Chain A
Amino acid sequence: MNLRSVLLLCLSLTVFSTAARGDGSSGKVTAEDGSPIVGAMVTFRFGSPFQERTVFSGEDGGYVVSGLPDNSDFLVRVRRIGWADIRSPQSPGDGTPLDFTMTRLTDPAEVAAQLPANHWYGLVLEQVESDFEKEQIVRQCTFCHQQGNPATRLQRSPEEWHKILSLMARMGAGLDEEIRNKVPELFNSAYDPENAIPKLTKGFDKPGFAPPPDAEVRRAVIDEFEMGGRSSMQHDMIMHPNGFAYSVDMSTDTLFRLDPSVPSGERELYPIPSSNNPLGGEGASGALPSNTDMRVGPHSLQVDQDGDVWITLAVGNQLARFDIDEKSFTLEDLPGGIFPHTLRVDDKGRVWYTITVSNHVGMYDPKSGQHEIIRIPARNLGEEVLLRMLPALMWLGQTFELDMGGGGEGSGLPMPYGIDFAPDGGVWFSQLNADRIGRIDPETFELKMIDTPFSAPRRMRFDSRGKMWIPGFSSNLISKFDPETGKFENYELPVEPLGTETPYSVNVDPATDDVWVCGTNSDTLIRYQQDIDKFTIFPLPTRVTYTRDIDFGADGSVWTSNSNAPAWQIETGVPRVIRLDVDGDTDLPMVSANP
C-alpha cells in the first residue's frame, strides 16, 4: 500500500466514525442482533444511464464509498449471500451515516437462488460420467450465456428441451445426438429443487458457508456502467490510452465510448456503417438471437499507434478503422475467409486477426494495402476438404432446403481464436476445438502448430517475460506456455465448486505481470499473481455477469464487459462495462477506501 492509500484510508476511517463526506457515504451493515456483516456488497446506483459503484463492508460491518456525485438520488442495494437483499432509495446525502440491518434468510430455496450460475451447473456436471460428454456440454453450452443462471436452470418438459437444443444447435451449439437425448433427464434431475436446494445450501447454518471475501478483496471498488440498450451484446471493450473506454455492441452494430471520469460516465455512440446488409450479414442458414439488429457484427477492437481503433466486423467480413478525432469509420473488405474475430496491431501498424469459421489468420498492412490470408492446418484431410468447400456449401444451404435435423457435431471444426504477439514479434494464436496453439513468423509467414495438454484453448496473452497464458475454456484451468522450452504448466482455477468455471479469456497486467482471468460462469474476475503463486477471486455484484475479455486502465484498474447473450438473462436485463479498482486506489475524484 503506498503513502497515498494510507492517507486515504486514515481519512476514510476518520470520516466513517463521524459522518459521510459530501461526495460519498458511509455506514454499517449489521444483522438484526447487531453483529457486523462482513463482506456485504453495498452498491450505489446513480445517473441515467446509470453507474453503480460497489464497495464491501469490512470486519466491523463498516463501509465507505467515495466519489459519488453531490446532488444525485441513489438507489442503494445491500447484498450478502444468506441475507435478503436490501434496496433503498436515497436522496442526496446530508452526511448522516447510512446504516443497514439485514435479515437472515430462512428459506433454503432463496439462499440457493443467490448463488452464481456455476454452483447450479456443477449439479449437472457432477452427473456426467464421460469426460467426452462433459467436454461437449461445457464447451458447447457456455459460450454465449451462462448455464445454471435463473433462465437456464428451470425444469422443462423433454419436448421443450429438445426444441431448445435444436434452436441452440442452429445458433451453433451442436451436441452429438446421444448427448442431446440425455439432456432433458440430466438437466431436469440436476435442477430438481429436491435435489438442488439441499445440496446447494448444505452447511448454510455453519460459518464456512459462502464465506466473505478476504480483507484484500474487500478493499476493491467495482464500478458498473450501463452500456447500450437491452439487447446489447458488448462483446469486447478496451481501455484507450486517452482514458476513454471503447466497447463494441455486436447486437446493434455500435461502437461506444465511455468517459469514466464524469459521474455516472459520459457516453458517445457511433453507429457502424452496415452497407445495407441483411440481418445477420451476408451469410447462410442458422438462427439469430430474436432481438438482434446485427448486420456487420463488431466483435473485437484494438488501438493502433495513431490512437485509432480497429474493429473486426464478424458478419460483415470486414475490418473497420475508427478515427477517434474525426469520429468516422473506414472499412476494409476481407480478401477471403469467413468471420474475422480477435485482432492485434503490431509495432509496424499491421493488423493481425483470426478468421474463425474458415480456419485462417489474416494480416492487413494499412500502409501498403497488403493483405495476407494464412490457411491454418486442419486436423485431418476430411476437415481440410470440408473447410475448402465451405463457401459452396453455405451457398447450397441458402438455396436449397436441407433438413439438418436441428443437429450438429459437438466436436466442431478447428477455429483460430485468440491471437497475441510474443516479445520477439512472433504471432501466436489458439485453435479452439483442435486443442492447439500455433505460431506464425511475422515476416516469412512460416507456421508451426503445437498441441495443448488441455482442452479448448481460448483467448490467450503473453506476459512481459515472454510466457504465454492460455485459458482452458472447458478444462477449468489456465496454462503457462514457454515458447523456448515448449513446456506447459497448468494451474487449476480454485473457483468453488471446483471444476465449474469456464474461463473465456485472460489478460496480463503489463505493470505487475499478474494474470487476470474471466470467471465467466461464476460472476467473478480472478487474479493469479505468478510471483507468489496465489489466486484471488473478486466477486462481481451483478448476477449473470458473463465476461469475454479483460483490459487495463493506465491507473491499474481492471476492465471488462458483461455480454451475456441474451441480455435479458442478466439481472436487471442491462448490459454493462465494468471497472474493478483492486485496492480502492484510483485517482480522485473516484477515490475510496474501506475499513
Chain B
Amino acid sequence: MKDIRRVFSLMALFLISGCDLVDPAGQTGPVQEEAGILGDQLRSAPTAEGEQLTIQLAFAADVDLDLYVTGPLLETVYFANHESKSGGKISDDVRCDSEESGTRTEKVIYLNPMKGRYRIGVDFPHRCSGESGPAPFAVLVERPGEDLQKEGSVKLERFEVAVLEFEL
C-alpha cells in the first residue's frame, strides 16, 4: 500500500489527472437518484436575493465534498481561499466533523457579480463513513434571470474541476 501511495503522489506530482466525465449521459442508479433528491432540496429553499449570484453545493453527511467557484478573474473561492478579488465569498467549510446531520451545503455568494465566465468544481477529499463508491451531489446556481442546476457524482479523491461552467 505504501508503494502504491507513492505512485499516486508521484502521478499527481505532475498534475496528470483524469477527470472522468461527471454523470455520463444515460447513467442511472441509486447515486443519480440521491443526487436528484439533493437537487430537489436545494431548489426548495432558494437563498439568492436581488442581483446577487449564489452557488450552492449539496451532499450527504457520510462524505466531505468541497465546492470550488472560479470567477471571471480566474481566481477560485474555496475552503482555503475564502474570498476572491472579484467579490466571491464562501461559507464555512463543512467537513466530516461538522455538526450538521442530513444534507450538507456549501455556498459561495457574489453580492455584485462581475460579468464573465464562471466555473464550478467539486472535490471529494474524504469519506466520513458508509460505503465506498462515488458520492452524489447537486449544484444550484441562482443568478439574475434563469437558475442553473447540475446533479452528478464524484469519485473519492477525484477533483472534478469543471462540473458546470456558465456565463453571466
Please list the residues of chain A having a beta carbon within 8 angstroms of any beta carbon in chain B: 151, 156, 159-160, 163-164, 166-167, 169-174, 229-231, 278-292, 294, 297, 314-315, 338-339, 356-357, 382, 386, 389-390, 393-394, 397-398, 401-409, 412-413, 566-568, 573
Contact = CB atoms under 8 A, between A and B. Distances in A.
Contacts of A284: 8, 11-12, 16-18
Given A163-B93, A338-B16, A398-B18, A413 B10 contact: yes
Given A230-B73, A286-B8, A408-B5, 4 more contacts: A170-B159, A171-B15, A403-B127, A568-B84
Interface in B13-46: 13-21
Contact of B9 (A163, A294, A408): A408
A407 to B, nearest CB: 6
Contacts of A573: 73-75, 85
A138 to B, nearest CB: 16
B155 interface: yes
A172 B12 contact: yes
Interface in B81-133: 81, 84-85, 93, 95, 97, 119, 121, 123, 125-127, 132-133
B128 to A, nearest CB: 12
B74 A357 contact: no
B83 to A, nearest CB: 11
Contact of B121 (A286, A290, A398): A290
B162 A315 contact: no
A567 B75 CA distance: 8
12 contacts: A279-B162, A280-B18, A280-B19, A285-B158, A288-B159, A291-B70, A291-B76, A357-B16, A382-B3, A389-B7, A393-B4, A401-B133
Contacts of A394: 7, 11
Given A169-B9, A170-B159, A397-B8, A288 B76 contact: no
Given A230-B73, A283-B16, A404 B159 contact: no
Given A163-B80, A163-B125, A286-B16, A407 B9 contact: yes
B125 A279 contact: no
Contacts of B158: 285, 287
A357 B13 contact: yes
B150 to A, nearest CB: 16
B75 A412 contact: no
A379 B101 CA distance: 49
Nearest to B10: A413
A296 to B, nearest CB: 12
Contacts of B4: 393, 402, 404
B80 A164 contact: yes
A172 B13 CA distance: 3
Contacts of B161: 279, 288-292
Contacts of B70: 231, 290-291
B10 A357 contact: yes
A386 B4 CA distance: 8
A286 B10 CA distance: 9
B14 A315 contact: yes
A390 B7 CA distance: 7
Nearest to B9: A408
B75 A568 contact: yes
B59 interface: no
B154 to A, nearest CB: 11
A406 B93 CA distance: 18
Given A160-B79, A169-B9, A171-B12, A282 B74 contact: no
A304 to B, nearest CB: 25
B137 interface: no
B22 to A, nearest CB: 11
A166 B73 CA distance: 26
B74 A412 contact: no
Contacts of B20: 398
A394 B4 CA distance: 10
B6 A409 contact: yes
A282 B17 CA distance: 7
A406 B157 contact: yes
Nearest to B11: A284
B16 A315 contact: yes
A389 B3 CA distance: 11
A172 B17 contact: no
Given A290-B70, A566-B76, A283 B93 contact: no
B14 A172 contact: yes
B80 A406 contact: no
A251 to B, nearest CB: 9
A357 B17 CA distance: 13
Nearest to A396: B4
Nearest to A341: B14
Given A159-B95, A170-B159, A230-B74, A412 B13 contact: yes
A568 B74 contact: yes
A483 to B, nearest CB: 29
A166 B123 CA distance: 12
Nearest to B13: A172
Contacts of A382: 3
B13 A285 contact: no
B16 A166 contact: no
Contacts of A292: 15, 161
B162 to A, nearest CB: 7
Contacts of A297: 15
B95 to A, nearest CB: 6
CB-CB nearest 8 A-B residue pairs:
A408-B9, A172-B13, A286-B12, A283-B16, A280-B17, A174-B9, A568-B75, A230-B74
A408 B8 contact: yes
Given A406-B157, A408-B8, A291 B119 contact: yes
A403 B121 CA distance: 20
Nearest to B76: A290
B9 A172 contact: yes
Contacts of B159: 167, 170, 286-288, 290
Contacts of A386: 3, 6-7
A166 B126 contact: yes
A306 B55 CA distance: 52
A292 B68 CA distance: 13
B10 to A, nearest CB: 5
A230 B15 contact: no
A170 B12 contact: yes
B164 interface: no
Contact of B12 (A164, A229, A287, A314): A287
B117 to A, nearest CB: 10
B156 interface: yes
B7 A393 contact: yes
A14 to B, nearest CB: 44
Nearest to B127: A403
A394 B19 CA distance: 13
